[in-house]
């Protein structure tokens, strides 16, 4: 039985491209088919929804996922999401991979399904990991090359490290330096080794004595504390968090949870259900059942094998020394599969008990002797809710810094303005910026009829604007030209505010902007900019018929980036491509239906642009931009106020006649839209409750 | 020099109570309208000429609430005569005839001022003439005035049965929720009293008992005279409430009887001895300039030259209550005080 | 009856009680689920006698529902087999005060489930002080153990919280209905055979009943009757709760606990104040 949240360890394939000696998983070619997967997750979702679960985290493990094609998990994930959505379950996906099969072809899958986050494994020194004959140090070098490639594309990696006997010969400081200084990782978790499944034959080699392991952990902890450089090294950090902030604030590894049976279960490639991938691989005789053979997951979950596991903690308390242990509430008896492999009985305490105790002692000593930790505790308010950050210093100005674009969005209103950049664009922009600064502009938006990052002079423009005294610089981008280097150069030049255009998830985005690969670029840009901790990071999504059904999922994803400050949903004016493709643009009643489920409570960063007030009365709207925002496209043009630019809208007559109280704040409706659909739709719209 | 004057108005000496150890000689009169008007007019004239003086009016008895709400509404009207001056009203009442209407009126009159009251949780010396249980009627009155936001101070009369119960008495009053506790030793009752008397060593012993409980409780409930003594111990040069030395009533005190007769001390009024004027016929200034008005100071000077001359506890005691012992004699509780001071000092 | 009155009823008769806010009690999940089906949103909490064998049936109840499990200390380990309930509901364990209390409290709090000492079931209070010391000093304890927690925090803040506030027997706020549909203010009063009403649609109370007036005038009675409670130095942490049903109840172990709580709160307040001074 589960709480509201449950995790599923999903092993879609037992195939692996590595031959690691300490692995507990037997390698086979077993891989679940998409059809089987649909059956499995249909049954799982039905059961979980029925027992009141609301949130499911799915951990994709192997075997090795990257032995599959990148499209396979994407399709599988979409099927799972659709099934879970149908059962009112919210699902998040996490990936554990050895990374050896990684290449940019995976990026789209990684961004769409896994939000750009990967878990991998790397030991130091490497003794057991092997990939196609590559082992030892060479394995790590090979891994690091792939890691560098992944992170340069904005992907985030965390690593599980399993100490071996040679690890214990390394100084803890060197160990720490390897992961955090040399590789630049931000998050590492230490797991203790155990010999089960195929690795049982090397049990004497793989298993570590608890005493030296404990010493190593305690010394490594001292290094971690002395460095205090903001990285996460678990289980240290989670134990500190538990001691200082309490259980709710701590995310402890599974082997320290009170009863793992209440938290997760595992699904294998043949539909087999077990406790976790370690049980599934090492002790298949302990599986609970097979979901392809039984329609009801509930029947499987009451299998005697599972009930025996569920009773372990209670047995430990009744029959072992655990109750007397000062650290029982931190360790809860440790891992049952480690107990089974190390002591032959899952009802024993974890074989690394003594090592854990040493670690707990070290952590406790540190916590008690560190007033700054307690200060954090006493100062800790409930986690601050995300809140919308909107507005800029006025007056502001918009500079069209590129007329070229590599996208051709289906709604692009200024499509007719896109062209080659004029040869004297730099001079025009420099003049414009100077003029703006002299006339007192405080904010400057770099945008374009095209994509500003395609203009190699962008950083120079920004530097000039800052030097000329303009306070806030904004960059609008589709993300295509955003690299770590550019983000850093822009930061140095004074650009601290960004708008990234993301119009859908995966293929949806690519179809909307009509360029394959653009989704990955947009998310990579979002990730890289997020990592630079900008003042503002807004996501801009133009609503249309292709994305309107996945807006919530998209907003969930953007909320996952800690630095996003607004997610603007906008309706484009019916001009350019939007008019040409007007059959793909949103009709207002449909939009009203879709936006009705979006609330500021659930999506606190949402703000609407150019959407009539009555379509989403509960959400914040941007009204007509003030006159102080001025636009100039070309040197030959005069600078015009944005209000004039908004002249494409009108207040529908029925709204006036009905005396709508929101006329002052409503942007109205596009004139061409009104011409197309007449007032009947508006009457229907305002007549509905 | 500006003075603090304690104006004790006893609108009646009658009481609904029949407490065994009461030292008031009960007489039948109630203060009439002419007397209360003359009292306020006199006070107003005095304050007009001495605007820096501060006055505390203590409504006392007998039982002042027997006067009923209309009397105090009348007083509220007269209050306008002195409203420009620094006058605070407080009251001493057994609370047993408090009614909601009277409590409302008193709320207006007493404003931030408090009510002093008395109950005896462990002996039945306090009774009502009606035969009703004193503690119950008192508790109801207490809850009523607390609900109106009054601060309530407890005046506890220490008698022979109190000794040995100091800790319980302290906690009882703290638990019941009074805002302060003042301890008074039982002196000569007005009537025949067959209960347990208090002698001086027992008074010292009791003080010590309750002091220990008070100290252990980190002085959570203010207890007099401990608070005053602690104050003296802490800062001798900053006299509390304008008292120059410990255990002293305010000087001058103007105690007004229902007839308008004025006494320099409440206790003298209670026994009807030593009037120094009458507010219906004498101005307050005239009364205050009579030598008897400052008789306590004169007594203190006398004692310091005589039997208290070498006492190391003089600052804390100053000879004790003048009215209870007579002009030329030190307090009858001297031995008890010494015993207490010495024990605490150790 | 005021909407704010929370009525504790046996699950089997829940549908017969017309009240806005119900706590439904049972030892069987099936009964709880059935009652929930009948009275739905009026359920403000669940009280279970032990972890039922068929606890899985409770899974359909709304998450975050307050669920209290009455447990004897010897059964405490069962909490580990039901950790899912802590993830799903607002779970706490109401633990009898009996032998094994310290171990029971240790086990339940180690599973991060808060404990409330069941003062309606005081069989043996000899481990009360050890349980308090565990709560105050042991690093394993990271969740509240009531009444220790509220009493300690109250003393620390200078606003003591009493047992009567933590275990209310105020007919204006809490009613208890027994299997025979008789109405009183708590389980211990029901066990003592003291009632002031019955259920007939809603709870019908007789405000002239002795128990009713005793409850309403509880504090007054203590102060005018010469009760020892009135002069107890821990009165503010109890308000006469312990001796309300049995005036001869031996409070000694509780008094020790109260005094320890006061002393430790004072110590901590002093430490905090000195730490504050140091920072300034």
pLDDT tens per residue across span A472-490 = 999 999 999 999 999 999 9
Mode of pairing for the β-strands spanning A669-670 and A649-650: antiparallel
A52/C139 touch (CB, cutoff 8 Å), yes or no? no
Give pLDDT tens digits for B107-149.
999 987 899 999 999 999 999 999 999 999 999 999 999 999 9
Exposure string of B109-122, with b = 16+ CB inside 10 Å and e = fewer, is bbeebbbbbbbbbe
C144: left (phi over 0), alpha (psi -120 to 50) or beta: beta
DSSP category for residue C76: G
Contacts of A516 (CB under 8 A, 6+ apart): A510
The residue-averaged pLDDT of B208-213 equals: 96
Residue A644: pLDDT above 60? Answer: no
Q: Is residue A223 a contact partner of residue A181, using CB atoms and an 8 Å limit? A: no
The shortest C-alpha distance from C152 to chain A (Å) reads 17
CA atoms within a 13 Å half-sphere pointing along the CA-CB vector of C44: 13
C140/A242 touch (CB, cutoff 8 Å), yes or no? no
pTM for this prediction: 0.77
When CB atoms are compared, the residue of A247, A323, A327 closest to C112 is A247
Give me the pLDDT at residue A422, please: 85
Give me the pLDDT at residue C1, please: 41
Q: Is residue A610 a contact partner of residue A621, using CB atoms and an 8 Å limit? A: no
Q: Is residue A150 a contact partner of residue A524, using CB atoms and an 8 Å limit? A: no
What is d(CA C131, CA A38) in angstroms, rounded to the nearest whole number?
52
Instruction: Give the Cα-Cα-Cα angle A170, A175, A178 (nearest 5 degrees).
Output: 130
What is d(CA C256, CA C132) in angstroms, rounded to the nearest whole number?
10
B171/C226 touch (CB, cutoff 8 Å), yes or no? no
C81/A310 touch (CB, cutoff 8 Å), yes or no? yes
Beta bridge partners of A131: A18, A134
Give me the pLDDT at residue B319, please: 86
Phi, psi of A407 (to 5 degrees): -100, 165
Quick one: pLDDT band at residue C277, thresholds 50, 70, 90? low
Residue C232 sits at the chain B interface (C-beta within 8 Å):
yes
Of A270, A302, A306, A269, nearest to A287 by C-alpha is A306
Mode of pairing for the β-strands spanning C66-71 and C43-49: parallel
The residue-averaged pLDDT of A435-453 equals: 89
**Other CB atoms within 10 A of residue A240 CB:** 21
Of A12, A28, A30, nearest to A79 by C-alpha is A12
The shortest C-alpha distance from C58 to chain A (Å) reads 9
Of C273, C274, C269, C270, nearest to C159 by C-alpha is C269
**Helix, strand, or coil here: C119?**
strand
Rounded to the nearest angstrom, the gap between the alpha carbon of residue B157 and the centroid of all alpha carbons in its chain is: 11
C87/A262 touch (CB, cutoff 8 Å), yes or no? yes
A51/C60 touch (CB, cutoff 8 Å), yes or no? yes
**Residue that the structure tokens 């001691």 belong to:** A243
What is d(CA B90, CA B107) in angstroms, rounded to the nearest whole number?
10
DSSP category for residue A231: -
DSSP category for residue C117: E
CA atoms within a 13 Å half-sphere pointing along the CA-CB vector of A564: 27
Q: Is residue A256 a contact partner of residue C110, using CB atoms and an 8 Å limit? A: no
Q: Is residue A367 a contact partner of residue A330, using CB atoms and an 8 Å limit? A: no
Residue C126 tokens, joined: 């000899």
Of A502, A393, A480, nearest to A445 by C-alpha is A393
Give pLDDT tens digits for A477-527.
999 999 999 999 999 999 999 999 999 999 999 999 999 999 999 999 999
Residue C272: pLDDT above 90? Answer: no
Residues of C in contact with B172 (CB under 8 A): 223, 230-231
Give me the pLDDT at residue B242, please: 39
Does B225 sit behind a cis peptide bond, omega within 30 degrees of 0 on the bond before it?
yes
Residue A3 sits at the chain C interface (C-beta within 8 Å):
yes
Q: Is residue B179 a contact partner of residue B192, using CB atoms and an 8 Å limit? A: no
The shortest C-alpha distance from A243 to chain C (Å) reads 8
The shortest C-alpha distance from C224 to chain B (Å) reads 5
Residue C231 sits at the chain B interface (C-beta within 8 Å):
yes
Helices H / strands E in chain B, number of each: 13, 10
The residue-averaged pLDDT of A555-562 equals: 92
Instruction: Give the Cα-Cα-Cα angle B112, C239, C220 (nearest 5 degrees).
Output: 65
> In angstroms, what is the C-alpha Rg of chain A?
28
C162 to chain B: closest CA residue:
B175
Rounded to the nearest angstrom, the gap between the alpha carbon of residue B220 and the centroid of all alpha carbons in its chain is: 22
Give pLDDT tens digits for C64-92.
899 999 999 999 999 998 888 998 899 99
C139/A326 touch (CB, cutoff 8 Å), yes or no? yes
A4/C84 touch (CB, cutoff 8 Å), yes or no? no
For chains B and C, tell me whether 3 or more CB atom pairs sit within 8 A of each other: yes
Beta-strand runs (E) in A313-460? 396-400, 443-447
DSSP category for residue A504: S
- What's the full length of chain B, in residues? 346
Residue B244: pLDDT above 50? Answer: no
**Residue that the structure tokens 């609330």 belong to:** A599
The shortest C-alpha distance from C3 to chain B (Å) reads 25
Least confident interval from A250-264, B90-104, C153-167: A250-264
The residue-averaged pLDDT of A9-15 equals: 97
Share of chain A above pLDDT 90, in %: 67
What is d(CA A468, CA A543) in angstroms, rounded to the nearest whole number?
36
CA atoms within a 13 Å half-sphere pointing along the CA-CB vector of C258: 18
**Other CB atoms within 10 A of residue A583 CB:** 6
Residue A464 tokens, joined: 């000039």
Q: Which of A103-112, A318-327, A646-655 has the highest mean pLDDT?
A: A103-112
Residue C266 sits at the chain B interface (C-beta within 8 Å):
yes
Give me the pLDDT at residue C279, please: 53
Residue C158 sits at the chain B interface (C-beta within 8 Å):
no
What secondary structure does DSSP assign to A316-348, as a single string?
A: HHHHSGGGG-TTHHHHTT--HHHHHHHHS-TTS
When CB atoms are compared, the residue of C56, C107, C141 closest to A1 is C56
B175/C231 touch (CB, cutoff 8 Å), yes or no? yes
Residue C130 tokens, joined: 């050890």
Residue A470 tokens, joined: 């303009």
A230: left (phi over 0), alpha (psi -120 to 50) or beta: left
C110/A328 touch (CB, cutoff 8 Å), yes or no? yes
Residue C111 sits at the chain A interface (C-beta within 8 Å):
yes
Which residues 163-192 on chain B approach chain C with CB closer than 8 angstroms? 167-169, 171-172, 175-176
Residues of C in contact with B161 (CB under 8 A): none
> In angstroms, what is the C-alpha Rg of chain B?
20
**What burial class does residue C276 get, using C-beta atoms within 10 Å of its C-beta: 0-12 exposed, 13-18 middle, 19+ buried?**
exposed
Contacts of A525 (CB under 8 A, 6+ apart): A154, A477, A478, A479, A480, A482, A500
DSSP category for residue A385: P
Residues of C in contact with A52 (CB under 8 A): 59-63, 88
What is d(CA C240, CA C257) in angstroms, rounded to the nearest whole number?
15
Quick one: pLDDT band at residue A564, thresholds 50, 70, 90? very high
Give me the pLDDT at residue A688, please: 57
Residues of C in contact with B135 (CB under 8 A): 223-224
Residue A602 tokens, joined: 């659930």
Higher per-residue pLDDT: A639 or A437: A437
B135/C236 touch (CB, cutoff 8 Å), yes or no? no
Question: Which chains does B contact via 3+ CB–CB distances below 8 A?
Answer: C
C233/B167 touch (CB, cutoff 8 Å), yes or no? yes
- Average pLDDT of chain C to the nearest whole number: 91
What is d(CA A51, CA A590) in angstroms, rounded to the nearest whole number?
33
Which residues 73-92 on chain C approach chain A with CB closer than 8 angstroms? 76-78, 80-88
Residues of A in contact with C109 (CB under 8 A): 329
Give me the pLDDT at residue A322, please: 87
**Other CB atoms within 10 A of residue B271 CB:** 15
Residue A313 sits at the chain C interface (C-beta within 8 Å):
yes
Residue A3: pLDDT above 90? Answer: no
C230/B172 touch (CB, cutoff 8 Å), yes or no? yes
B214 to chain C: closest CA residue:
C233
Give me the pLDDT at residue A624, please: 56
The residue-averaged pLDDT of A386-410 equals: 87
Residue C259 sits at the chain B interface (C-beta within 8 Å):
no
The residue-averaged pLDDT of A52-73 equals: 94
The shortest C-alpha distance from C225 to chain B (Å) reads 8
What is d(CA B259, CA B27) in angstroms, rounded to the nearest whole number?
11
- Average pLDDT of chain A to the nearest whole number: 90
Question: Which chains does A contact via 3+ CB–CB distances below 8 A?
Answer: C
**Other CB atoms within 10 A of residue B37 CB:** 17
CA distances from residue A340 to A213, B34, C218 in whole angstroms, order as listed? 19, 101, 59
Q: What is the largest CA-CA distance in chain C?
A: 63
A311/C81 touch (CB, cutoff 8 Å), yes or no? yes
Q: Is residue A18 a contact partner of residue A64, using CB atoms and an 8 Å limit? A: yes
Q: Is residue B260 a contact partner of residue B14, using CB atoms and an 8 Å limit? A: no
What is d(CA A97, CA A114) in angstroms, rounded to the nearest whole number?
12
Residue A3 tokens, joined: 């709480």
The residue-averaged pLDDT of A150-161 equals: 94
The residue-averaged pLDDT of C101-117 equals: 94
**Helix, strand, or coil here: B157?**
strand
Of B201, B196, B95, B86, nearest to B148 by C-alpha is B95
């Amino acid at each position: 039985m589960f709480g509201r949240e449950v995790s599923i360890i999903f092993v879609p394939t037992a195939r692996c491209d590595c031959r690691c000696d300490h692995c507990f998983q037997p390698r086979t070619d077993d891989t679940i088919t998409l059809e089987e997967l649909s059956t499995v997750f249909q049954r799982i979702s039905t059961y979980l929804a029925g027992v009141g679960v609301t949130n499911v985290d799915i951990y994709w493990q192997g075997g090795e996922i990257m032995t599959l094609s990148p499209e396979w998990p994407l399709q599988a994930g979409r099927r799972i999401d659709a099934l879970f959505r149908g059962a009112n379950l919210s699902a998040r996906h996490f990936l554990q991979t050895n990374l050896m099969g990684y290449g940019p072809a995976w990026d789209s899958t990684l961004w769409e399904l896994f939000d750009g986050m990967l878990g991998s494994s790397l030991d130091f020194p490497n003794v057991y990991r092997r990939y196609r004959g590559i082992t030892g140090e060479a394995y790590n070098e090979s891994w690091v090359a792939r890691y560098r490639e992944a992170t340069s594309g904005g992907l985030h990696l965390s690593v599980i490290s399993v100490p071996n006997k040679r690890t214990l010969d390394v100084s803890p400081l060197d160990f720490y330096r390897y992961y955090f200084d040399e590789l630049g990782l931000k998050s590492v978790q230490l797991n203790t080794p155990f010999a089960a499944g195929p690795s049982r034959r090397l049990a004497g080699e793989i298993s570590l004595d608890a005493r030296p392991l404990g010493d190593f952990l305690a010394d490594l902890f001292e290094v971690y504390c002395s460095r205090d450089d903001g990285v996460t090294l678990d289980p240290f950090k989670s134990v500190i968090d538990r001691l200082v902030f309490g259980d709710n604030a701590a995310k402890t590894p599974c082997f320290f949870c009170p009863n793992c049976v209440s938290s997760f279960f595992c699904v294998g490639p043949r539909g087999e259900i077990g406790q976790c991938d370690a049980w599934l691989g090492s002790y298949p005789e302990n599986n609970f059942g097979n979901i392809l053979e039984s329609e009801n997951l509930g029947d499987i979950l009451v299998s005697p094998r599972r009930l025996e596991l569920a009773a372990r903690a209670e047995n430990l308390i009744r029959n072992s020394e655990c109750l007397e242990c000062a650290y029982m509430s931190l360790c809860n008896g440790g891992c049952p599969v480690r107990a089974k492999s190390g002591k032959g009985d899952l009802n024993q305490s974890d074989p690394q008990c003594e090592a854990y105790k040493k670690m707990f002692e070290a952590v406790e000593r540190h916590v008690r002797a560190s007033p700054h930790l307690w200060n954090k505790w006493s100062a800790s308010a409930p986690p601050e809710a995300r809140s919308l950050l909107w507005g800029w210093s006025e007056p502001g100005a918009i500079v069209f810094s590129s007329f070229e674009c590599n996208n051709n969005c289906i709604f692009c209103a200024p499509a007719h303005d896109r062209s080659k950049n004029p040869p004297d664009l730099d001079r025009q922009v420099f003049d414009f910026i100077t003029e703006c600064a002299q006339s007192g502009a405080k904010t400057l938006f770099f945008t374009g009829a095209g994509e500003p990052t395609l203009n190699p002079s962008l950083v120079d423009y920004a530097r000039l604007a800052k030097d000329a005294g303009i306070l806030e610089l904004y960059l609008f981008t589709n993300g295509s030209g955003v690299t770590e280097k550019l983000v850093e150069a822009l930061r140095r030049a004074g650009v601290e505010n960004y708008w990234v255009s993301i119009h859908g998830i995966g293929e949806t985005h690519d179809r909307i902007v009509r360029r394959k690969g653009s989704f990955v670029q947009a998310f990579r840009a979002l990730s890289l900019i997020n990592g630079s901790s900008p003042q503002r990071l807004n996501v801009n999504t133009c609503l249309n018929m292709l994305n309107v059904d996945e807006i919530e999922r998209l907003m969930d994803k953007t909320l996952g980036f800690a630095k996003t400050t607004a997610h603007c949903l906008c309706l484009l004016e019916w001009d350019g491509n939007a008019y040409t493709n007007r059959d793909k643009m949103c009709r207002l009643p449909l939009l009203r239906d879709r936006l009705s489920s979006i609330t500021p409570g659930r999506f606190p960063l949402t703000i609407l642009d150019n959407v009539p007030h009555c379509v989403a009365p509960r959400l914040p709207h941007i009204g007509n931009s003030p006159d102080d925002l001025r636009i100039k496209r070309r040197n030959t043009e005069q600078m015009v106020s944005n209000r004039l630019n908004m002249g494409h809208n009108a207040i529908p007559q029925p709204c006036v006649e009905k005396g709508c109280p929101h006329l002052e704040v409503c942007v109205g409706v596009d004139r061409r839209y009104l011409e197309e659909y007449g007032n009947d739709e508006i009457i229907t719209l305002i007549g509905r409750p | 020099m500006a003075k603090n004057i304690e104006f004790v108005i006893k609108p009646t000496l009658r009481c609904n109570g029949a407490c065994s150890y009461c030292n008031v000689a009960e007489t039948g009169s109630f203060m009439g309208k002419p007397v209360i008007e003359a009292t306020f007019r006199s006070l107003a004239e005095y304050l007009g000429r001495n605007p820096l003086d501060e006055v505390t009016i203590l409504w006392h008895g007998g039982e002042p609430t027997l006067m009923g709400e209309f009397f105090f509404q009348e007083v509220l009207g007269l209050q306008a005569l002195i409203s420009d001056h620094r006058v605070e009203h407080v009251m001493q009442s057994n609370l047993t005839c408090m009614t909601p209407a009277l409590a409302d009126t008193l709320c207006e009159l007493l404003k931030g001022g408090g009510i002093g009251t008395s109950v005896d949780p462990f002996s039945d010396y306090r009774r009502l003439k009606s035969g009703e249980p004193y503690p119950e009627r008192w508790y109801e009155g207490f809850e009523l005035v607390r609900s109106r936001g009054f601060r309530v101070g407890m005046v506890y009369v220490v008698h022979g049965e109190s000794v040995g119960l100091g800790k319980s008495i302290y906690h009882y009053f703290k638990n019941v929720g009074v805002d302060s506790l003042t301890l008074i030793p039982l002196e000569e009752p007005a009537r025949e009293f067959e209960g347990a008397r208090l002698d001086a060593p027992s008074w010292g012993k009791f003080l010590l008992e309750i002091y220990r409980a008070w100290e252990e409780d980190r002085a959570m409930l203010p207890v007099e005279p401990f608070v005053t003594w602690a104050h003296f111990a802490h800062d001798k040069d900053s006299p509390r409430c304008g008292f120059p030395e410990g255990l002293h009533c305010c000087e001058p005190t103007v105690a007004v009887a229902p007839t308008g007769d004025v006494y320099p001390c409440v206790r003298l009024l209670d026994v009807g001895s030593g009037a120094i004027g009458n507010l219906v016929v004498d101005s307050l200034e005239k009364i205050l300039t009579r030598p008897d008005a400052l008789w306590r100071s004169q007594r203190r000077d006398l004692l310091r030259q005589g039997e208290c001359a070498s006492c190391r506890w003089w600052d804390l005691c100053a000879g004790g209550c003048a009215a209870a012992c007579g002009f030329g004699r030190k307090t009858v509780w001297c031995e008890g005080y010494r015993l207490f001071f010495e024990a605490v000092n150790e | 009856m005021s909407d704010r009155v929370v009525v504790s009823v046996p699950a089997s008769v829940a549908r017969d009680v017309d009240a806005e806010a119900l706590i439904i009690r049972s030892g069987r999940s099936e009964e709880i689920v059935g009652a929930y089906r009948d009275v739905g949103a009026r359920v403000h909490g669940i009280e279970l006698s032990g972890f039922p064998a068929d606890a899985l049936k409770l899974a359909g109840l709304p998450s975050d529902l307050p669920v209290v499990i009455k447990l004897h200390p010897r059964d405490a380990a069962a909490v580990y087999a039901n950790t899912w309930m802590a993830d799903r509901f607002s779970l706490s364990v109401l633990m009898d005060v009996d032998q094994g209390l310290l171990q029971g409290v240790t086990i339940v709090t180690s599973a991060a489930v808060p404990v409330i000492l069941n003062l309606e079931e005081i069989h043996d209070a000899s481990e009360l002080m050890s349980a308090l010391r565990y709560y105050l000093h042991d690093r394993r304890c990271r969740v509240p153990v009531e009444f220790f927690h509220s009493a300690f925090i109250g003393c620390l803040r200078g606003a003591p919280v009493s047992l009567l506030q933590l275990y209310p027997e105020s007919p204006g706020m809490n009613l208890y209905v027994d299997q025979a549909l008789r109405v009183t203010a708590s389980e211990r009063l029901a066990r003592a055979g003291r009632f002031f009403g019955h259920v007939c649609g809603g709870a019908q109370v007789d405000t002239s009943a002795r128990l009713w007036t005793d409850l309403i005038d509880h504090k007054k009675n203590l102060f005018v009757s010469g009760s020892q409670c009135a002069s107890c130095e821990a009165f503010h942490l109890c308000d006469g709760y312990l001796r309300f049903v049995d005036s001869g109840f031996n409070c000694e172990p509780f008094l020790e606990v109260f005094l320890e709580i006061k002393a430790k709160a004072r110590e901590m307040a002093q430490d905090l104040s000195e730490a504050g001074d140091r920072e300034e």
